[in-house]
Amino acid sequence: MTSSETAPLRARAEIDLAALRANVRALRALAPGAALMAVVKSDAYGHGAVPCARAAQAAGAEWLGTATPEEALALRAAGLSGRVLCWLWTPGGPWRQAVEADVDVSVSGMWALREVCDAARAAGTPARVHLKADTGLGRNGCQPADWPELVAESLRAQAAGLVTVVGLWSHLACADEPGHPSIRSQLDCFREMVAHAEEQGVRPEVRHIANSPATLTLPEAHFDLVRTGIAVYGVSPSPELGTSADLGLRPVMSLKASLALVKRVPGGHGVSYGHLYTTPGSTTLGLVPVGYADGIPRHASGTGPVLVDGKLRTVAGRIAMDQFVVDLGGDEPPPGTEAVLFGPGDHGEPTAEDWAQAAGTIAYEIVTRIGTRVPRVYMNVEDEHHDV
């Protein structure tokens, strides 16, 4: 180990890969009839795409999923094998590279089918295509009215040896609100669109619609493959579904910083930009050297929770670009003392879900926005179940 690895860090995001593997195993047990895709888009929700993808595969994830083709190609460049699907394409995208890298692609409309056919012709290899249906989300995907044409043209391209339609899929709008009427109508619509494609001759290897909340709460949505993102990282998709602990998941990321300064100040002292906080009496302040440039939401000014020296503290005043302050109430832990912004929550520390609540957002946004200035430190890289 070099000294820079042992030196206390300004800040670090510890990534517990044993927790990630346990989450993948728990999710596979919840959807025993389906294969599992670990969604590792956006650098694995801020956790680091390559180490997380490897850990997910070690725990039995048969598929990896990304939004952009560039993210999928980066997994291949890092040496990852196995099935990879990417779904967020724009005209002129790297279709040919995807085909040549054996990456599955999503097609939501005719422009995409034309581009993937051109790429397959150039590569001399058929593309593996998942046709995406808009069953009611109203975002990406093919509308029911346009589906017959997309299916027919895809089958024509398949007959010409340019594509293999391996997947039929869709995405849910309100899976995190169990009982929402759109869930039922989207599932009905999905079944109809799948049935139409199958009647026309599509023989999909996988039909898939479930994200994390649907994997956790809606077995009838599991079909052949579940696409789990946030749950793989041990974070609850929404407070309505309970905490990660309620769901049997373990948070993977812990965000920690070292106090940069502890000092005594008199009462009535303004703290940080705008003086939104004034010390109520003589007290001590701790300087936490992370800010909104590191992904700490400025909206959590005055509300974000931090565990310092065994005590839960609250952000005092504004969160600045690189730092914020906590009122330590007269305690004087030495500079360098660890401040835990969030972690699994079983040692009194807050969770990412607590930060989401403090900032008025969702926990997805908390973990995905932790900045590149914060080094990721990987723990439990070796698979303890390796030879079980």
Q: Which residues bind ligand PLP (CB under 6 A)?
A: 39, 41, 67, 87, 171, 211-212, 227-231, 237
- Are the CB atoms for 84 and 46 separated by under 8 Å? no
Q: For ligand PLP, which is the closer residue by CB, 65 or 317? A: 65
User: Cβ of residue 169: shortest distance to ligand PLP, in angstroms?
Assistant: 8
Q: For ligand PLP, which is the closer residue by CB, 65 or 291? A: 65
Cα 107–chain centre separation: 22
Cα separation values, 1 from 21, 257, 319, Å? 26, 21, 34
Q: For ligand PLP, which is the closer residue by CB, 49 or 307? A: 49
Q: Which residue is nearest to ligand PLP (CB)?
A: 229
Q: For ligand PLP, which is the closer residue by CB, 212 or 279? A: 212
User: Cβ of residue 46: shortest distance to ligand PLP, in angstroms?
Assistant: 12
Question: Which is the catalytic residue, given 41, 256, 292, 364?
Answer: 41
Distance linking the first and last C-alpha atoms of the chain:
30
Q: For ligand PLP, which is the closer residue by CB, 234 or 286? A: 234
Helix (H, G, I), strand (E, B) or coil at 117: helix
In degrees and rounded to multiples of 5, residue 169 shows phi and psi of: -155, 170
Distance CA 145, CA 367 (A): 38
SS3 of 121-177: the string is HHHCCCEEEEEEECCCCCCCCECHHHHHHHHHHHHHHHHCCCEEEEEEECCCCCCCC
| Residue 364 annotated among the catalytic residues of the structure | no
A 10 A CB-CB count for 336 gives 10
- Are the CB atoms for 158 and 164 separated by under 8 Å? yes
Helix (H, G, I), strand (E, B) or coil at 62: coil
User: Cβ of residue 42: shortest distance to ligand PLP, in angstroms?
Assistant: 8
User: Cβ of residue 2: shortest distance to ligand PLP, in angstroms?
Assistant: 36
| Residue 45 annotated among the catalytic residues of the structure | no
- Which neighbouring-strand residues pair with 164? 128
- Are the CB atoms for 187 and 170 separated by under 8 Å? no
Question: Which is the catalytic residue, given 256, 273, 277, 292?
Answer: 273
Distance CA 321, CA 141 (A): 38
In degrees and rounded to multiples of 5, residue 326 shows phi and psi of: -120, 145
User: Cβ of residue 373: shortest distance to ligand PLP, in angstroms?
Assistant: 24
A 10 A CB-CB count for 179 gives 9
User: Cβ of residue 334: shortest distance to ligand PLP, in angstroms?
Assistant: 39
Q: For ligand PLP, which is the closer residue by CB, 154 or 212? A: 212
- Residues labelled as active-site residues: 41, 273
